[in-house]
Amino acid sequence: MDEDKISESESTIAIERSIQAELLLLLGQRPSHGYELIQRLNEADFKSGEADAATVYRNLRRMDKDGLIKSHWEVGESGPGRRLYKLTPQGESSLKLWAQYIVQQRALLEKFLQAYFQLEESLSGNEDGVN
């Protein structure tokens, strides 16, 4: 695990950009167009809250511009043509980095919860002592 890279990215990763990680993961599973990605994102177990069309399309354009994904127009066989998005090697690396970052955050959150439960237990013990 590249610790330097993670701590560097940690400072720049804002929580609202987590939608990019989610889109990278979905595109890693299979190439999709925006319409389908919005549906898949809203059905995903890891998504909390609603992903609206404007946010998804805006992030797809930004990720395309940043080289994390690439797109081309695909003619529809029985429906409209749509822009199809695919993950690039740079996007794969970014997804890996996101996963490492999330593992690190999970460890920190677990430590927080551990400390909180200890506090809760000690407070409950004090209350018992008072009673």
Kind plus residue range of the DSSP H or E element containing 110 = helix 89-130
Q: The tokens 């043509």 sit on which residue? A: 81
Question: Can you tell me which of 39, 93, 105, 124 binds other proteins, judged by CB under 8 A?
Answer: 39
Interface segment toward other proteins; rule CB under 8 A; list 1-9, 10-18, 31-39, 89-97? 31-39
Q: Does 49 bind other proteins (CB under 8 A)?
A: no
Q: Does 84 bind other proteins (CB under 8 A)?
A: no
User: How large is the angle between the packed helices 34-43 and 18-29, nearest 10 degrees?
Assistant: 110
Q: Does 5 bind other proteins (CB under 8 A)?
A: no
Q: Which residues contact 82 (CB under 8 A, 6 or more apart)?
A: 33, 34, 35, 73, 74, 76
Q: Does 35 bind other proteins (CB under 8 A)?
A: yes
CB count, 10 Å around CB of 112? 10
Minimum CB separation from other proteins for residue 95, in Å?
23
Kind plus residue range of the DSSP H or E element containing 76 = none
Q: Does 82 bind other proteins (CB under 8 A)?
A: yes
Give the residues lining the site for other proteins (CB under 8 A): 34-36, 38-39, 41-43, 50-54, 57-58, 61, 73, 75-76, 79-83
